[in-house]
Structure 1
Amino acid sequence: MNQYDFVVIGSGPAGRRAAIQAAKLNKKVLVIEKGTRVGGVSVHTGTIPSKTLRETALNLTGWRERGFYGRSYRVKQEISAEDLRRRLLITLDHEVDVLEHQFARNRVSQLRGAAHFIDKNTIEVVKDDGEIIRVEANAVLLAVGTRPYRPAHIPFDGVSIIDSDEILEIKEVPRSMVVIGAGVIGIEYATIFSALDTVVTVVEPRDSMLEFLDKEIVEDFTYQLRDRNMKLIFSQTVEKVEKEPGGKCRVTLANGRAMIAEMVLFAAGRVGATDSLNLSACGLEADSRGRIKVDAGTFQTAVPGIYAAGDVVGFPSLASTSMEQGRIAARHAVGAPAHEPPQYFPYGIYAVPEISTCGLTEEEVLERGIPYECGVAHFRETSRGHIMGLDSGLLKMIFSLKTRRLLGVHIVGEGATELVHIGQAVLNLKGTVEYFVENTFNYPTLAEAYKIAGLDAWNRMGELKGA
């Protein structure tokens, strides 16, 4: 039997970062991946593909130039599914090559096959050719990720009624689409296809979307979507999805309303890919959505020596946070000291437009009873915004009136996922409104919005002491 210091099941962001971290600590590491190529959901069906699809759509449609040249402007008049897929395949090949090289450089062993527990230290791997291999581990990390939730009442066919994995394999760009679910994945794909001039309708059972975000940002985002003729239907559930004789789909809501579209994307949740792991053999149990409960500081499960990280442990389910979770889990697993991650991390939603946030929302500040003031900047107020032809985009910062410290930064608009890191740094370094007032930003840049929002907040908060 093969003996390892650390066995990682899954090679997504959490798994690969954990494996490389343990290997750098001179541990004997094995990564087990059931897919034909390393990278996990993040590389093959999730983070990288969806963001590549987004960038391709924005480039080919000329979306970023429409502020100058009008809504009819397009770089390529006829955009096919093959156009979207071409760039995607190049990107995925590069990502896999980089990851394979990282594993080889750090002497991380790999094994292809489906893994399941025999006991807490023994894992059996069934390879594609039927060969069975057993490995023994001093510590194990479960980084198996998630897969789309597929309820029985939705007649998926992989062509016109699809989940968020299958959307990458579509043969044609649909003229109309109904997206079921207004979570992060549903909204990202809904807005990407809207940018491709697909007529999009989003159906969501809750009375709003993206409820973990600052409400002012969601309101601005919602306005932008409706302004470009996206239909958002809240507080309604889907009762039935059917194929029409002509090939289109009929979506019937609980209130009797019906919609016809060429394609239906079901994106209402994901489930942990834990059902084949035989968790009971090691004393673990997943919840109803296949997720595993862990200690928030170490990412150890209820069974000593077994850890879990990434999407399989639930919120925030981000590639960025998953990587850090995997690294921390690996250090604890092999007995190395591990620092607590910074209190605030950025959350990025790669919709069109982008949204990114870090720190407390205005609702959370109110809930905690903290006296505060906000500063807001619109991208159209910046010279860079004029140059880029932006007529939308918003940056909001929240400051404590007592300490003057930054409490939260929230951005919707072009480049939001890049811009947020300035606010993140100030947050974690406990910076105050004075930083934004006194600091110099490159001109002309969208980052200048920090200066504008900082001055807006400072004016509302009163003069600086001693100024």
Structure 2
Amino acid sequence: MAVYDYDVVIIGSGPAGEGAAMSAAKKGRRVAVVEEQDTVGGNCTHKGTIPSKALRHSVKQIIEFNTNPMFRDIGEPRWFSFPKVLNRAEKVISNQVMLRTNFYARNRVDVFFGRAQFSGKGEIVIEGRSEAREVLRAKNVVIATGSSPYSPDDIDFNHPRIYNSDTILKLSHTPRTLVIYGAGVIGCEYASIFSGLGVKVDLIDTRDRLLSFLDSEISDALSYHLRNNAVKIRHNEEYQSVEGDAHGVIVNFKSGKRIRADAFLWCNGRTGNTAHLGLEKIGLTANSRGQIAVDDHYRTECEGVYAVGDVVGWPSLASAALDQGRAAAADMLNGEDFRYINEVPTGIYTIPEISSVGKTEEELTAEAVPYEVGQAFFKDTARAQISGEPVGMLKILFHRETLAILGIHCFGDQASEIVHIGQAIMHQEGSANTLKYFINTTFNYPTMAEAYRVAAIAGLNRIENL
């Protein structure tokens, strides 16, 4: 048994683990990372963010070819198989793995492959591929093990037609019909992807509105465009049973409905990857969703042990996880650059995509904040007309009296890029974070960013016309 001593040991090499490792290493600490998979990157790189967004990009290109009249000179509309589109995503994954492997090498971070388990406070045993066991000892440990799809016991995920959001990446055919159970972010993204491939999709929502945390106008727009792409959305439904046979899957609902499809995709909830960590040996207990409780500095109840990323729950975003990892490293090393991650833009990669930051109209109304709305519709902007992406809008919520920016909501092509302009202005101090910035700033023309000026003028007009 080999024993190694480090200043910091990080369990997991996803965005959260990588953020913690790079920050600690750059501050001169001796750092080790333990990764259960064969290569670094975590679920974000191999099963989540990277493959699904690469899939989305390829499908979006297919949709453009099939809907743009200019391409009819090249050939008739055509559909591509899911495995063929997935092949593109696998190339992106390999590039990401190579990039991240180089990060660890350049910063002299030791990477161990195998399953990590606490054997006591500050001591971790690694069960690798061989019989040899390795023990890592450190004063500080960061748990960044991420999450996996929640799998209810009454559904047979070993059936060849029943998938979750991880195993769907091994789909070897293109189903004609698909039931997606769970209309959260992942479910809506995959509904966009498969409908773009010509698959008839039933999207099952256990609630009465898609993505209810979004501004209602944005949520309504998403519902409209999914339906416009032949996605059948079924609200307020819960499954009674899911039965797989040789020809497909039958889903029976508590409402009495019954749907048959070629395949079934479960996208209803995720669980923190804590089951095999041996948390009880350091006095920690995960909740029913496998998540670990932390304070506002990402410290657990066990001294010297931090937890970051999906394993702590909200907001369960790769962008936030990276910053949480950096924050945990700053706290343990008494750095002055610590910040609690609480202002995170949403990035939802449906087709079209959605992004927002700040308050929604519903929240401002409930808080009795006197606000007004400025909107710019992409169909009226030159850049959107040129690119052939006219669907969508930018919505600015601002205080009627101070003109301070209170929320930015964007639906349409490049929404996750566009939102950052508004985010930057919202975080300025004093009078710099008001609507007047967009009115008094000259934007390149034609650009999508110009929508901020159009929306700001429209909002100001609503006040001045009273």
Task: Please tell me the TM-score bracket, short chain as reference.
Answer: over 0.9
CA distance in 1, matches of 2:299, 2:251: 43
Amino acid at match of 1:24: K
SS of match in other structure, 2:410? strand
Q: Displacement of 1:66 after TM fit?
A: 2.0
In the other structure, the counterpart of 1:407 is 406
Please list, as runs of the form range in 1=range in 2, the aligned pairs for 1:371-386 lying within 5 A after superposition. Answer: 371-386=370-385
Which residue is equivalent to 1:55? Answer: 57
Partner of 2:428: 429
TM-fit CA distance, 1:68: 4.7
In 2, the alpha carbon distance for the partners of 1:57 and 1:406 equals: 35
Q: Which residue of 1 aligns with 2:256?
A: 256
Under a length normalisation based on structure 1, what TM-score does the superposition of the two structures give? Answer: 0.95
Task: Call closer, same or farther: CA 1:239–1:70 in 2, change over 3 Å.
Answer: farther
Residue in structure 2 matched with residue 349 of structure 1 by the alignment: 348
Question: In the alignment, does 2:303 pair up with 1:304?
Answer: yes
**Distance in structure 2 (CA, Å) of the matches to 1:108 and 1:243:** 46
> What does 1:32-431 align with in structure 2 at a 5 Å threshold?
32-59=34-61, 61-63=62-64, 66=67, 68=69, 77-157=78-158, 159-245=160-246, 247-296=247-296, 298-340=297-339, 344-430=343-429, 431=433
> Size of the alignment, in residue pairs?
461
- How far apart in 2 are the matches of 1:19 and 1:74? 50
Instruction: Say if 2:330 and 2:338, in contact at 8 Å, map to a contact too.
Output: no
Letter in 1 for 2:308: A
Indicate yes or no: 2:450 matched with 1:451: no
Contact 1:2 1:135 in 2 (8 A): yes
Q: How far apart in 1 are the matches of 2:65 and 2:29? A: 48
Q: Is the 8 A contact 1:179 1:267 kept in 2?
A: yes
CA distance in 1, matches of 2:228, 2:172: 29
Q: Are the equivalent residues in 1 in contact too, given 2:292–2:300 (CA < 8 A)?
A: yes
Query: How far has the Cα of 1:402 moved from its partner?
Result: 2.5
Please state whether the residue corresponding to 2:50 is helix, strand or coil: helix
Distance, in Å, in 2 between the alignment partners of 1:123 and 1:75 is 59
- Give SS of 1:53's match: helix
Counterpart for residue 6 of structure 2 = 4
SS at match of 1:48: helix
1:185-209 Cα shifts (integer Å, max 9, x gaps): 1111111111111111111111112
Conserved in 1, the CA contact under 8 Å of 2:65 and 2:77? no
Question: In the TM superposition, what is the alpha-carbon distance from 1:315 to its structure 2 partner?
Answer: 1.1
Pairwise CA distance, 1:439: 1.2
Give the residue type in structure 2 aligned to 1:232.
Answer: I
Q: How many angstroms apart in 2 are the aligned matches of 1:196 and 1:65?
A: 10
Aligned structure 1 segments of 4 or more residues deviating by more than 4 angstroms: 67-71, 73-76
Q: Deviations over 1:224-248 (max 9, x none)?
A: 1112221110111011111245x12
Task: Compute the displacement of 1:75 (Å).
Answer: 8.1
Name the structure 1 match of 2:15: 13
Give me the TM-score of the superposition, normalised by structure 2. 0.95
Identity of counterpart residues, as a percentage?
40
Q: 1:375–1:455: 8 Å Cα contact kept in structure 2?
A: yes
Which residue of structure 2 aligns with residue 24 of structure 1? 26
Distance 1:158 1:323, change over 3 A: farther
Q: 1:440 aligns with which of 436, 439, 442?
A: 442
- Range that drifts further, 124-133 or 313-322: 124-133
Listed one character per residue, the Cα deviations across residues 401-433 of structure 1 (whole Å, up to 9, x for unaligned) are 122110000011111011111011011115111
CA distance in 2, matches of 1:318, 1:76: 36
User: Could you say what secondary structure the match of 2:92 adopts?
Assistant: helix
| 1:436 positional shift | 1.2
Quote how far apart the aligned CAs of 1:388 are: 2.3
Preserved CA contact (<8 Å) 1:343 1:428 = no
Equivalent position amino acid for 1:311 in 2:
D
String of CA shifts for 1:238-259, please: whole Å, max 9, x gaps: 11111245x1211111111111
CA distance in structure 2 between the partners assigned to 1:308 and 1:58 by the alignment: 36
In structure 2, distance between residues paired with 1:338 and 1:351? 34
Kept after mapping to 1: 8 A contact 2:7/2:29: yes
Q: 1:342 to 1:272 in 2, by over 3 A?
A: closer
Q: Conserved in 2, the CA contact under 8 Å of 1:8 and 1:30?
A: yes
Q: Distance in 2 between matches of 1:277 and 1:223?
A: 44
Unaligned runs of 5+ in 1: none
Provide the alpha-carbon RMSD of the alignment.
2.0
Q: Is 2:323–2:341's contact at 8 Å kept on the other side of the alignment?
A: no
Cα 1:6/1:155, change in 2 over 3 Å = same
- Could you tell me how far apart the structure 1 residues matched to 2:339 and 2:24 are? 17
CA distance in 2 between partners of 1:218 and 1:50 (Å): 21
SS at match of 1:348: strand
Deviation at 1:344, TM superposition (A): 2.9
**SS of equivalent to 2:202:** strand
Write the distance in 2 (CA, Å) between the matches of 1:229 and 1:373.
Answer: 34
What is the identity, as a one-letter code, of the residue corresponding to 1:381?
Answer: D
